[in-house]
Structure 1
Amino acid sequence: MAEDGKKILYVDDEQGLALLGEEFLGDLGYQVTAAFGGEEAFAAFGQADPPFDLIVTDESMPGISGIELAQKIYEVAPQVPVFICSGHLLSNEEEGMDKTNIVEVLLKTDVCAKLPDLLEKHL
């Protein structure tokens, strides 16, 4: 079960998936905020008080991609871990990942099965 008070920003440009992630992680005891795209997520990140403890983001989004979002967050808060979720297989070697704090790469189909344990590991 989640440690009380841990805040997660869950990002997906598909609103239904973002809200599903928010509900799923909320049911596990986390404080979750859904954001519907990279721009909205970065704005929410900058306004959060207290700050988010971890970010879970889709990779393929219009505007700011998940990797670009992770880069922007790394510039202002390099200690905040980021999980990237994708509909296709990514590796930790993707272009731009070296300038981030991406600690986990997940297939979207694995989110429900693997995310709870990974959150416990990183929070």
Structure 2
Amino acid sequence: MARILIAEDDTGIRLLVSRALRQEGHEVMVAEDGEMAIDVLAEEAGAFDLVLSDIRMPGITGIELAHAIHATFPGLPILLMTGYAEQKEAAEELSAIVVGVVEKPFTLADIRRRVAAALPAPEPLRRYA
């Protein structure tokens, strides 16, 4: 399964989403804000299949985080979350560097589906003769 970094300042949402994705078999790491997410990405040399980030966070916002990730790890998919319409519109302007925006509130089924859709397709198995 995938290795996912979640950046979310709301403890309840962070725990709920990380638990839901772990139940799907994903390896999940969490960051409480954008600055911590940047630190984790640096420590792990960007070795994630997806970053799932809230847009509205103290310090570095999810939009600023997306720009920082794209500058350092341009192939790393980024999926944003927000409960604010104006932030969703701002994030849509980032369509070249984010794979989508999930609107809050969402159900566990919604977030699982959106994460699955955002993940890169698995490499096909090679058959040897």
Structure 1 and Structure 2 fold alike (TM over 0.5)? yes
What is the root-mean-square deviation of aligned Cα atoms in Å? 2.1
Percent of residue pairs identical: 31
Which secondary structure state, in structure 1, belongs to the residue aligned with residue 76 of structure 2? coil
AA at the equivalent of 2:117: K
- Distance, in Å, in 2 between the alignment partners of 1:100 and 1:23 is 29
- Which residue among 71, 82, 91 is the counterpart of 1:75? 71
Instruction: Note the alpha carbon deviations across 1:5-52, whole angstroms, 9 max, x for none.
Output: x10001111223212221111011100011100000110011115701
- Which residue among 2, 18, 40 is the counterpart of 1:22? 18
Distance 1:17 1:69, change over 3 A: same
- Distance, in Å, in 1 between the alignment partners of 2:64 and 2:111 is 21
Q: How many positions carry a matched residue from both structures?
A: 118
Which secondary structure state, in structure 2, belongs to the residue aligned with residue 70 of structure 1? helix
Distance 1:121 1:36, change over 3 A: same
Which secondary structure state, in structure 1, belongs to the residue aligned with residue 48 of structure 2? coil
- Distance, in Å, in 1 between the alignment partners of 2:107 and 2:74 is 24
Unaligned regions of 5+ residues in structure 1, if any? none
Distance 1:99 1:71, change over 3 A: farther
The question of whether the paired residues in 2 share the 8 Å contact of 1:67 and 1:96 is answered with no
Which secondary structure state, in structure 1, belongs to the residue aligned with residue 105 of structure 2? helix
1:117 partnered with 2:113 = yes
Normalising by structure 2, what TM-score?
A: 0.80
Unaligned regions of 5+ residues in structure 2, if any? 120-129
Shift of residue 79 of structure 1?
0.8
- Distance, in Å, in 1 between the alignment partners of 2:92 and 2:60 is 13
- Distance, in Å, in 2 between the alignment partners of 1:24 and 1:88 is 23
- Distance, in Å, in 1 between the alignment partners of 2:39 and 2:95 is 20
- Distance, in Å, in 2 between the alignment partners of 1:95 and 1:107 is 11
Normalising by structure 1, what TM-score?
A: 0.84
- Distance, in Å, in 2 between the alignment partners of 1:118 and 1:107 is 11
Computing the radius of gyration over CA atoms, which structure comes out larger, 1 or 2?
2
